[in-house]
Amino acid sequence: MSKVRCPICDAAMPGNWQEYPDFPFCSARCRKIDLGRWLDEKYRIASPALDRSTPPDGEQP
């Protein structure tokens, strides 16, 4: 079995994932911390930077 750790507190989670009702988190507390981070927009999906040196197709500078 692989070693699984909680992504919030880094606690080791021995045993089967079915033993953890809040998987992939070790507890409801860590699950709520993660939700709060999403709601506070601390997690973001990076988008590629736009090249502003060339105009979009069909537009004149």
* Tens-digit pLDDT profile for residues 19-34: 899 999 999 999 999 9
Kindly report the pTM of this predicted structure.
Answer: 0.65
The verdict on residue 55 lying in a domain is: no
pLDDT band at 48 (very low <50, low <70, confident <90, very high): confident
The verdict on residue 28 lying in a domain is: yes
Report the domain count for the chain.
1
Handedness of CA 15, 19, 24, 25 (dihedral sign): negative
Torsion of CA 19, 21, 23, 29, to 10 degrees: -120
The verdict on residue 4 lying in a domain is: yes
pLDDT band at 59 (very low <50, low <70, confident <90, very high): low
**Cβ 9 vs Cβ 30: under 8 Å:** yes
